Amino acid sequence: MTPQEKANELYNKYRNYIISFLSDTMKDKNAKTASLIAVEEIINALRNINEIDETIFWLDVKQEIEKY
């Protein structure tokens, strides 16, 4: 899976759980924020165990999410 595909997967998973009465703009913002929080947690955990290649992948995922 590419970083872009993973970013889309995470974003869409969170967006589907956002409360339905919110506007699309607010759903998008909340999905982006939740996705970035999740990716930051993964990056921090990987840095603690020195997983360089995996960390790079997740940093790329983060960059893709930030484009939303």
64's CB contacts (< 8 A; 6+ apart) are 3, 4, 6, 7, 8
What is the spatial distance between Cα 1 and Cα 20, in angstroms, rounded to a whole number? Answer: 29
pLDDT band at residue 59 under the 50/70/90 scheme = very high
pLDDT band of residue 44 (cuts 50, 70, 90) is very high
Q: Please tell me which residue, 49 or 21, carries the higher pLDDT value.
A: 49
Q: Residue 35 pLDDT more than 80?
A: yes
- pLDDT for position 23: 87
